[in-house]
Amino acid sequence: MNKKKQLKQIAIAGLIVFTFFFVFQPFGLKVEPFNIILKSAFLYGLGTIIISLINNLLVPYFFSNYFNESRWTFGRNILFGIWYWISLTITMIIIGYLIFPNTQVSAGTFLKMFLYVFILGQFIFIVISYLNQSYLTKKHESLSVDIQTKIKSNKADDKSTEIVIPFPFDFDKRIIISEICFIESLGNYLKVFWEDSNGRLQNIVVRKSLTELEKELEGFNYIFKCHRSYVVNTHKIQKVSGDSQGLKLSLKNIEQTIPVSRSKIKEFKNLFANENAARH
């Protein structure tokens, strides 16, 4: 997750905590004057933001080996989660003590606050996940409409001037590159889908890696690696749709949809923008 997105989510979490304490006024805040309620809500919200910034940005920076993605495991994720909730609970207790110096801090107080923090944290997680899913869905739906329009424009202007070059695979057939629909990676094998001269869909599994394929098809811009497991012929795309997961490509006479990974969406969009610019 990029830092800009993390900062937005941290700000939302702080706002939710502020709203919770201001509206519901737990821990006896209901009997306190308005200025104390407002001060408490503000400090609890601010404390959430500060401890979240420390745990999500500073801690991974100073302990980069622990947070290395290649070494990240479920166990490490659990340990970090426990640390996060404990550190947030301690922060909340300290804030409460600063507001009400006469507060008695005990194991019972810690457990009660930990329970509040954990439950509220799950609620915040659900809210942020929902907002994130909604945002991504709208973003990808809008993007899919834009790309769909460019695809139609490209097809309308297609003069069929491409050079047809036979592409030899490890079997006794030769597939014309322009007839390829998409290729799916199956480890050290590839499943190739193409249309024959009669427009019928054909497929075959050959022993070849996707890395080898990319080198052999270098220079054919319409053959695009849209996902770590898929290569697609952009001239065969009939429809582009979007949801929270990203973009989905529908090809003619093929029920299977081809995913476009999030890391490839910008490059995929630019591909059609460049094609349009070249035509004009």
Q: Looking at the domain assignment, is residue 113 inside a domain?
A: no
Considering the domain architecture, whether residues 158 and 48 belong to the same structural domain is answered as no
Q: Looking at the domain assignment, is residue 132 inside a domain?
A: no
Tally Cβ neighbours within 10 Å of residue 177.
18
Calculated CA dihedral for residues 273, 277, 279, 280, nearest 10 degrees: 140
Q: In the numeric block, which tokens belong to residue 96?
A: 């409460």
Considering the domain architecture, whether residues 100 and 174 belong to the same structural domain is answered as no
Q: Looking at the domain assignment, is residue 21 inside a domain?
A: yes
Domain of 274: which CATH number?
2.40.50.1020
Q: Alpha helices, DSSP H only, in the chain? A: 3-24, 34-53, 59-62, 74-99, 107-156, 210-216, 262-279
Q: Looking at the domain assignment, is residue 117 inside a domain?
A: no
Name the nearest CA neighbour of 222 among 239, 236, 238: 236
Q: Looking at the domain assignment, is residue 122 inside a domain?
A: no
Q: How many domains is the chain partitioned into structurally?
A: 2
First-last CA distance in the chain: 37
Which range of residues forms the domain containing residue 210? 138-279
Considering the domain architecture, whether residues 100 and 144 belong to the same structural domain is answered as no
What per-residue confidence (pLDDT) applies to 158?
45
Q: Looking at the domain assignment, is residue 263 inside a domain?
A: yes
> How do residues 54-78 score in pLDDT, each as one tens digit?
999 999 888 888 887 767 788 888 8
Q: In the numeric block, which tokens belong to residue 47?
A: 């404390």
Enter the pTM of the model. Answer: 0.61
Question: Which residues in the chain show pLDDT less than 70?
Answer: 1-2, 70, 151-173, 273-280
Considering the domain architecture, whether residues 143 and 248 belong to the same structural domain is answered as yes
Considering the domain architecture, whether residues 144 and 262 belong to the same structural domain is answered as yes
Q: What is the mean pLDDT of the chain?
A: 83
What per-residue confidence (pLDDT) applies to 6?
86
| Residues composing the chain | 280
